[in-house]
Structure 1
Amino acid sequence: MPRIPPPPARTVFSDPVHFLAFGFGSGLSPWAPGTAGTVAAIPLFLLLQPLPLWAYLLATLLVTLAGFWLCGQSARKLGVHDHPGIVWDEFAGFLVTMIAAPAGWVWILIGFALFRLFDIVKPWPARWFDRQMHTGAGIVMDDIVAGVYALIVLQLIAWWWGGN
C-alpha cells in the first residue's frame, strides 16, 4: 500500500477536529504515527491513572465515543478513511489497555508494547472492524479490540508476576 502523506501541519493545527484526531499533532510524525500517537497518549493516561476505577472507565468511554465522531470527521475532511495520522484511536485503545494496570513505568512500557503489538497484528475481530466498518467507529474499534487483547495479557502478566 502506498504511503499516504500527512496533511500540512497548518491544516492539523488550525482545525480543532484534526488537532484532536491527530493526537495533538503527534500523528504528523513521518515515521510510525500510530506509535507516536500512543506515546502521546501516555500523559493522558498519567492524568487519569489516579482516578477511581469507575471514573477512569467513564473517561475511557468518553474518549472512545468522542473518537467515533472525531476520527470519522477528520477522515471525511481529509477524504481518506483511517488516515495513518489519525491517532485518537490509539489514545482510546491505550486507555483500554491500561485499565486497572499496576502503577509504575514498567507497566506503562509493557502496556505500550502489548498495545502496539496487537494494534499492528490486528487479531480477530480487530481486522474485521479495520476492513469492513468505514466509519469513525470502525477506525476506533479495531484499536479498542487491540486494547482489550493487550489488557488481558497485561493483567495475566501482572497476576503471574504478583503470584511468584
Structure 2
Amino acid sequence: MAPWCILAFCRLGFAGLSPRAPGTCGTALACVLAPWLFLPLPLWGRVLLLALLFVLGSLAGTQAEQILGRSDPGEVVIDELVGVWLALLPFAQGESRTDWVLLLAAFLLFRLFDILKPWPVHAAERWLPGGWGIMLDDVVAGGMALLCLALLRWCGVV
C-alpha cells in the first residue's frame, strides 16, 4: 500500500496533523464520528469493528513508524479512535438520557488515562513491539475509561 494512504489512515485524515495535541484532535474526531459510524452498530458489530481496527491500526502503525523514522509518532492517532470507541463499546446510541454527556465523559476520561498513563497504561506500550504497542496502551486506557463510564452510568450520572 502507498505510504500516503497508510499515513492518512493512521492520522485519521487530518486530525493527526494538528500542530498541537494531535491525540486530543484524534479523540475529538472519533467522538464526533461515533454516533454515525460506531454507536448505531449492534454490539457484535462494534466488537468486530474494534478488533478489525486494532489489527489494521497495529499493522499500519508499524509501517508508519518505518515511514516516519520515529517510534510511536504523535501524528498516529488511529489508536485514539480505537481507545475512545472501546470506552463507548457497551453504550448503544439513544440508550443514554443525554448522549452528548456520554460522549463528553468518554472523551475526558479517555484523554485523562491516555495523557497521565497510570499503570498499566504506560506499561502496555512496551508489552508488544511496533504498532501493536502503539495500539495496546490506548486499548488499556480505553478499558479504564469504560470502567469509569460504567460506574458513572450505574450512579445515574450519564
What's the TM-score once normalised by structure 1's chain length?
0.85
Which residue of 2 is the match for residue 138 of structure 1? 133
Residues matched between the structures, number: 149
Deviation of 1:129 after TM superposition, in Å, equals 2.4
Q: CA contact under 8 A between 1:81 and 1:134: conserved in structure 2?
A: no
Please give the root-mean-square deviation of Cα atoms over the aligned residues, in Å: 1.5
From 120, 126, 138, the counterpart of 2:121: 126
Q: CA contact under 8 A between 2:38 and 2:85: conserved in structure 1?
A: no
From 80, 88, 98, the counterpart of 2:88: 98
Deviation string 1:46-90 (CA, Å, 9 cap, x unpaired) is: 222111111111111111111111111111110101111110100
Deviation of 1:128 after TM superposition, in Å, equals 1.3
Q: Whole-Å Cα distance in 2 between the matches of residues 24 and 71 of structure 1?
A: 14
Q: Which has more helix, going by share of residues?
A: 1
More RCO (CA 8 Å, sep 6+): 2
What's the TM-score once normalised by structure 2's chain length?
0.88
Tell me the amino acid that sits aligned with residue 87 of structure 1. V
Asked if residue 150 in structure 1 is aligned to residue 154 in structure 2, the reply is no
**150-159 vs 125-134, greater mean Cα deviation:** 125-134
Tell me the amino acid that sits aligned with residue 82 of structure 1. D
Percent pairwise identity: 39
Q: Which runs of 5+ in 2 are unaligned?
A: none
Runs of 4+ in structure 1 off by over 3 angstroms are: 131-134
Q: Which runs of 5+ in 1 are unaligned?
A: 1-13
Q: Whole-Å Cα distance in 2 between the matches of residues 132 and 96 of structure 1?
A: 19
